[in-house]
Amino acid sequence: IRRRGCDFRNGETLLEAGQLINPWRLALAASAGAGILRCTRRPRVAVLATGDELVEPGQPAGPDQIYNSAAPALAAFVVRRGGETRLLAAAADDQAAIAARVSEAAFDLLVTIGGASVGDHDLVKPALRDLGAILHVEGAAMRPGKPVWFATLPDGRAVLGLPGNPASALVCAELFLAPILTRLQGGASPDRFEAAILDGGLPANGPRDHYMRARLWTGADQVRRATPYANQDSSLVSVMAAANGLIRRTPHAPALEDGESVSVLASAFQAG
């Protein structure tokens, strides 16, 4: 037997608009007798990979081909972040074919992979311009992920363009796709970075933000630490799969020694 009102009282706000409904908040609503909760619709996210070199996993790959690894990873990322994924068939390096694929799809947010670097194969942005898209961001001073871009279609739907390099695409998903999905569901996007103690030294950084794949862990002293991986090549999917966080290094940051503080982001790919 418990006293009436020991948990919450009549008229008290238990859940605020924009909060994610997890099992514990669902239990709270149910304990107050709420039979129906009004929630936002899950955003529909279309994922489109582009490139003549892509072949789907499970199919034989030729000497000049790579497996389409970023698209299924991003599809799973979207679901974990509360969205519904529409995985579109990969498009070849053909401007008209890319435009057709986009115009035929139903989505609230389009995520493209590849075809965004400077050169003859930069066909995704021209294809979107053919559909009336306005580009707001055409690159970022960061690594990996410099070619990332953002646009809106004439009807207001957003397009996030990610690099074709799988590890670069996944880093950009952590930094940009996650907060976009949160906002599409009515939530706020607070700063998700936190402090940790560096395990090992780091050289001085260059002129761009550097997001280093790292292993975040907590020692016996209950202090969070971050161990960067030695090889930060953006083509290494194995490093991204092993990492559970990113270390953020600002432009021209000085060299750091073991035991100094760093800013880290726990990976949404590895969460839960």
**Domain-by-domain residue ranges, the chain?**
44-184, 194-266
Q: What pLDDT is recorded for position 269?
A: 61
What are all long-range contacts of 12-18, with beta carbons under 8 Å and residues at least 24 apart?
17/186, 18/186, 18/187, 18/188
Q: What pLDDT is recorded for position 189?
A: 78
Residue 232 to residue 99: CA distance in whole angstroms: 34
User: Each residue of 163-189: pLDDT tens digit?
Assistant: 988 889 999 999 999 999 999 998 887
In the chain, what are the helix, strand and coil shares in percent, each to the nearest 5?
25, 25, 50
Q: What pLDDT is recorded for position 270?
A: 60
Out of 2.40.340.10, 3.40.50.11400, 3.40.190.10, 3.40.50.300, select the CATH number for domain 194-266.
2.40.340.10
Share of the chain above pLDDT 70, in %: 96
Who contacts 116 (Cβ-Cβ below 8 Å, separation ≥6)? 122, 124, 125, 147, 148, 149, 161, 162, 163, 164
Give φ, ψ of 136 to 5 degrees.
Answer: -105, -30
Q: What pLDDT is recorded for position 199?
A: 96
Buried b (16+ CB within 10 A) or exposed e, 47-74: bbbbbebbeeeeeeeeeeeebbbbbbbb
Positions in the chain whose pLDDT score sits under 50:
272
CATH number of 44-184: 3.40.980.10
Residue 57 to residue 22: CA distance in whole angstroms: 33
DSSP per position, 209-228: EEEEEEEEEE-TT--EEEEE
Could you give the count of Cα atoms lying within 13 Å of 100 in the half-sphere of its Cβ? 9
Quick check: 200 and 254 in contact, CB under 8 A?
no
CATH topology identical between 44-184 and 194-266: no
Q: What pLDDT is recorded for position 272?
A: 44
Quick check: 113 and 70 in contact, CB under 8 A?
yes
User: Each residue of 79-102: pLDDT tens digit?
Assistant: 999 999 999 999 988 999 999 999
What are all long-range contacts of 139-142, with beta carbons under 8 Å and residues at least 24 apart?
140/209, 141/207, 141/208, 141/209, 141/251, 142/175, 142/208, 142/209, 142/210, 142/211
Q: Point out which residues pair with 238 in neighbouring strands.
A: none
Residue 46 to residue 57: CA distance in whole angstroms: 19
Give φ, ψ of 116 to 5 degrees.
Answer: -120, -5
Return the closest-CA partner of residue 210 out of 256, 179, 177, 272: 256
